[in-house]
Structure 1
Amino acid sequence: MTGYDLIDEAVVDAPPQAVWEALIAEFRGAARWWVPANTFAVVRGAPDEVGGEVAVTVHTKGVDKGGPKIRFTSRTRAVEPGRLLSVDYVEGVFRGTSDFVVEPLQGGRTRVGMHFVGRPHGWLKLLAKVADIGAEHSTGTSEAFVRLGRILAEESAGAGRPAAGDRHLEGSAR
Structure 2
Amino acid sequence: MHTIHHTDQTLLNHPTHTVWNALINELNGTTTWWHPHNTHQPGPTAPHHPGGTTTTTIHTNGIGKPGPKLHFTSTTTHITPHTQLTQTHTGHFHGTTTYTLTPHNNNTQTQLTITFTTTPHHLAKLLNKLTNLTTKHTTATQNALTNLHHHLNNQNPE
With the shorter chain as reference, the TM-score category is over 0.9
| 1:42-97 Cα deviation digits (max 9, x unpaired) | 1230101111111100111111122111111101000000110000012x100000
Partners of 1:32 and 1:59 lie apart in 2 by 13
Q: CA deviation at 1:31?
A: 3.4
User: Which amino acid is the alignment partner of residue 63 of structure 2?
Assistant: V
User: Which amino acid is the alignment partner of residue 104 of structure 1?
Assistant: P
Partners of 1:141 and 1:152 lie apart in 2 by 16
Give the match for residue 143 of structure 2.
Answer: 143
Q: CA deviation at 1:5?
A: 0.9
Q: Which runs of 5+ in 1 are unaligned?
A: 162-174
Q: CA deviation at 1:139?
A: 1.0
- Check the 8 A contact 1:102/1:111 in 2, yes or no: yes
Q: Which runs of 5+ in 2 are unaligned?
A: none
Partners of 1:94 and 1:105 lie apart in 2 by 32
**Structure-1-length-normalised TM-score:** 0.86
User: Which amino acid is the alignment partner of residue 81 of structure 1?
Assistant: P
Are 2:93 and 1:94 equivalent residues in the alignment? yes
- Check the 8 A contact 1:31/1:40 in 2, yes or no: no
Listed as ranges, the matches of 1:1-174 within 5 Å are 1-90=1-90, 92-106=91-105, 108-155=108-155, 158-159=156-157
Post-superposition, which runs of at least 4 consecutive aligned residues in structure 1 deviate over 4 A? Answer: none
Q: Larger C-alpha radius of gyration, 1 or 2? A: 1
**Structure-2-length-normalised TM-score:** 0.94
Partners of 1:111 and 1:48 lie apart in 2 by 19
- Which shows bigger deviation, 80-89 or 99-108? 99-108
- Percent of residue pairs bearing the same amino acid type: 33
CA RMSD of aligned residues (A): 1.3
